Structure 1
Amino acid sequence: MKNSTKTFLLTIMAFFVASCSKEKSEYQLTATLPKEVKVDSLYLLDYKGEKIKGVVADKEGKFVFTGKAAEAAPAGISNEKAHLYIPFILENADIAIDVKDTDMNTDIKGGEIHNIVYGYEKDPKYAKLNLERRKVSKEQFTDLDMTDEKKVEEARKIVNTVGDQVYKIKNDYLKKVVADDNPPMAKAIASTMISDRDYTAEKILARLAKYKKEIGKSDYITYYEKMMNEFKEMQDNAENVTVGSTYKDIIGKDRNGKDIKLSDLVAKNKYTILEFWASWCGPCRGEIPNLKKAYAKYNSKGLEIMSVSLDSKNDAWIKALDDEKTIWPNVIVDGEFRNPQVVNYGITGIPASYLIDQDGKIVASNYDLREFDLDRTLSKFIK
């Protein structure tokens, strides 16, 4: 009897140990959405934005992902049609993501690294201000006449006043994660999430090298190191493509596969706007109405536009062209941001714009070619 009891206890202990071991070596991610968010599937994306897997809702309306994570790393769940993206840290743990409403207010119960890195979301002051930021943004911009420069500037000032407080709490918290005694992977991820001018590419790379020695092999850190080195190269290139410098030529293919050269357009027109954009970029799409107005007003006076898409998929780009009904030259280049022609311009974010005169000199760029400033800038050069 004693032997039977002992055998039974050993069996139970073995099962318990095996269960614990399984929990530590796998993740189970459960996501719930409110009924108002009508989606039939969700995708799990890795830190590169690539799809790991997709699932449909179960009978209870939950989206359940299971698998093994090689390491803790940033990830997200997504549904493009619903414009839904929820970031978190994917690691081998039980993870629960509960989206509360259509504003995407979310409660996440994650693993150890997630709870450390995203701890600022549990700060009552941060949570209150973040809700206030969303509320104020909706109040200020819903039904706002975006052609009224004064009202738009006032709305932005009000929203930014709250937004700056939100980002300060987040950045201060992440800096503390880096400074305190936390797991190296938590520090590494926090370092890559800080938005602060003091955190230069050089400083981030130095920290990542230190954490990599402590962690050992890390695909995420290796990937981010590569990204930061490319970013440094782009920054260096951007310093050589400024107002007063000579533009660099670009060749892309239009929707029919025909090559279009920027140099041909520059030679034929008094001024040419070079615009980098993508179909998935909201601010880029938001600038198209301004470009249309400028084209209608100044094209007959010698203005041309060349839009260069950094889309990865031709179908998405062509659909955007059809939706937006743009009539000036539009091309796409391979490799997105990593295309050598794009790297030459040091593009780290889009939209990015340059106004080039017929002599090939860049006479204005970026914010001088945005919104209300676009017409003001063009009116200085084109009479």
Structure 2
Amino acid sequence: MKKITLLALLTLSILSCNNLKDNEFLISGEAKGIENGKKAFVEMQSELGTIIMDTAVVTDGKFELRGIAKNIDLGFVRIENSPINLPIIIEEGKIDIKIVKDSLHKSTLGGTPNNDMFQKFNNESRAISEKVAKYERDNGEIMQNAQVKKDTVTIKRLMSEYQKFQDEMNVYSKKFIVDNPDTYISVLLLENFLMRNYLSKEEVTKIYNKLDKTMQETNSGKRISAVIFKKNEVKIGEKAPNFSANSPEGKRISLKETLGKVTIIDFWASWCGPCRKENPNVVALYNEFHAQGLNIIGVSLDKDATKWKEAIAKDGLTWPQISNLKYWDEPIAKMYNVESIPATFILDAKGNIVAKDLRGDALRAKVVTLLGVK
């Protein structure tokens, strides 16, 4: 009888350890090869910066992190003084993660509905990711040398080849969203499509309207809604609102003083992959037509001045650059209702907006027409 009582008490003790409060999450982490004493953090990004939700110490390759999930959101598990920064979905329940120290992409997560689906997406898209990683390894140095030499032919070839992998991932991701309208990774993917201008607002709206209501009410869902249903856009045919901000050197520069026969307002950031990939095309365009009246003013949504300056130098952006270094709170971006980047506004000689969000050949054709170049 005593044995049964002890067994019952032990069972109750184990159950009580796993009981979670309302909206509470428990991350049970395994990180083999991480030395004892290293700290593990669970973090989230907010408009105010990084929020550390909990901290733990790795012991015998294991750790536990807890917190309150006020809403389903994206979080990260980070190990101090290491490149490990694993994305997870913060939500109520017990989340299991296994970190593979030397191959982070092989790490796994699960235990809650949205983390299970996140792992499903990772598993199914891994073949594409591995092709991308191999291509970057094989061609990274070639791209760097081409950028140094300003070899636009090689740069365009590499970008075109790389785009094929991106297109493959885009097709898979769009299908995943449509097939799984009730999971958070679908909302994150849709928000990414919107920010990169991969899908039009009409396409995003159609997909968004089919998302589960719970997903629409997440922070990512609300951000999508704010963009696709926003009002008072800066419209084609209107005078471009004037603005000013500091250059990397601290000089105040305004739109008015940079106007040319044709002016491009280019919203970008050092952390924006699609922006950086488009920069060689913009550089080539500027070099070809600046002497004939094309001006550009870059407005960065950076928040780190050093990274902003490094990107300007590395990409060879010789036209005026300004920023308030406020990330998505950049007041000029808000003035122009910019919710995704890259974003461009093309102005005529009078400062009127004649086109928006053109890139590549379409942008060049518009510039040629406005300049009257034959």
TM-score normalised per structure 1: 0.68
What's the counterpart of residue 252 of structure 1? Answer: 245
- Is contact 1:23–1:93 with CA below 8 Å preserved after alignment? no
Residues 253 and 171 (structure 1 numbering): CA distance in 2 closer, same or farther, change over 3 Å? same
- Is contact 1:279–1:285 with CA below 8 Å preserved after alignment? yes
Q: Which amino acid aligns with 2:261?
A: K
Confirm whether residue 13 of structure 1 aligns to residue 16 of structure 2.
no
- Is contact 1:42–1:77 with CA below 8 Å preserved after alignment? yes
Residues 310 and 165 (structure 1 numbering): CA distance in 2 closer, same or farther, change over 3 Å? closer
Give a deviation string over 1:200-230, Cα, whole Å, max 9, x none.
336525745x337xxxxxxx93523431232
SS at match of 2:241: coil
Stretch of structure 1 that moved more, 303-312 or 194-203: 194-203
What's the counterpart of residue 275 of structure 2? Answer: 284
Residues 377 and 151 (structure 1 numbering): CA distance in 2 closer, same or farther, change over 3 Å? farther
What's the counterpart of residue 179 of structure 2? Answer: 176
What's the counterpart of residue 270 of structure 1? Answer: 261
- Is contact 1:89–1:110 with CA below 8 Å preserved after alignment? no
Q: Which amino acid aligns with 1:119?
A: K
Q: Structure 2 matches for 1:184-333, cutoff 5 A?
A: 186-187=182-183, 189-194=185-190, 200-201=204-205, 204=208, 207-208=211-212, 210-211=213-214, 221-233=217-229, 237=233, 240-241=235-236, 246-255=239-248, 259-266=252-259, 269-285=260-276, 299=290, 301-314=292-305, 316-317=307-308, 328-333=319-324
What's the counterpart of residue 132 of structure 1? Answer: 131
Separation in 2 of the partners of 1:163 and 1:261?
36
SS at match of 2:19: helix
Residues 274 and 41 (structure 1 numbering): CA distance in 2 closer, same or farther, change over 3 Å? farther
Identity, % of aligned positions: 18
SS at match of 1:280: coil
Give a deviation string over 1:43-73, Cα, whole Å, max 9, x none.
644264852338698476x684611242543
SS at match of 2:183: helix
- Is contact 1:42–1:56 with CA below 8 Å preserved after alignment? yes
Separation in 1 of the partners of 2:336 and 2:166?
30
Stretch of structure 1 that moved more, 273-282 or 190-199: 190-199
Structure 1 residue runs of 5 or longer lacking an equivalent are 179-185, 213-219
Structure 2 residue runs of 5 or longer lacking an equivalent are 194-198
- Is contact 2:31–2:98 with CA below 8 Å preserved after alignment? yes
Residues 285 and 340 (structure 1 numbering): CA distance in 2 closer, same or farther, change over 3 Å? same
| Matched positions, count | 351
SS at match of 2:242: coil
Confirm whether residue 352 of structure 1 aligns to residue 343 of structure 2.
yes
Stretch of structure 1 that moved more, 40-49 or 107-116: 40-49
- Is contact 1:247–1:362 with CA below 8 Å preserved after alignment? yes
Separation in 1 of the partners of 2:298 and 2:80?
24
Separation in 1 of the partners of 2:187 and 2:364?
40
Q: Which amino acid aligns with 2:10?
A: I
Separation in 1 of the partners of 2:139 and 2:10?
61
What's the counterpart of residue 94 of structure 2? Answer: 93
> Post-superposition shift, 1:96?
1.7
- Is contact 2:268–2:275 with CA below 8 Å preserved after alignment? yes
Separation in 1 of the partners of 2:331 and 2:33?
44
Separation in 1 of the partners of 2:141 and 2:154?
12
Separation in 2 of the partners of 1:253 and 1:128?
44
Stretch of structure 1 that moved more, 186-195 or 222-231: 186-195
Confirm whether residue 51 of structure 1 aligns to residue 50 of structure 2.
yes
Give a deviation string over 1:1-46, Cα, whole Å, max 9, x none.
x4x54553443233122123159944235364989xxxx9876442
Give a deviation string over 1:251-300, Cα, whole Å, max 9, x none.
3234566643212322xx33333221223224434555665666666555
> Post-superposition shift, 1:232?
1.9
What's the counterpart of residue 196 of structure 2? Answer: none
- Is contact 1:205–1:225 with CA below 8 Å preserved after alignment? no
Give a deviation string over 1:144-196, Cα, whole Å, max 9, x none.
44656665555455444454444434443443333xxxxxxx53553453456
Separation in 2 of the partners of 1:300 and 1:161?
34
TM-score normalised per structure 2: 0.70
> Post-superposition shift, 1:325?
7.8
Separation in 2 of the partners of 1:13 and 1:22?
16
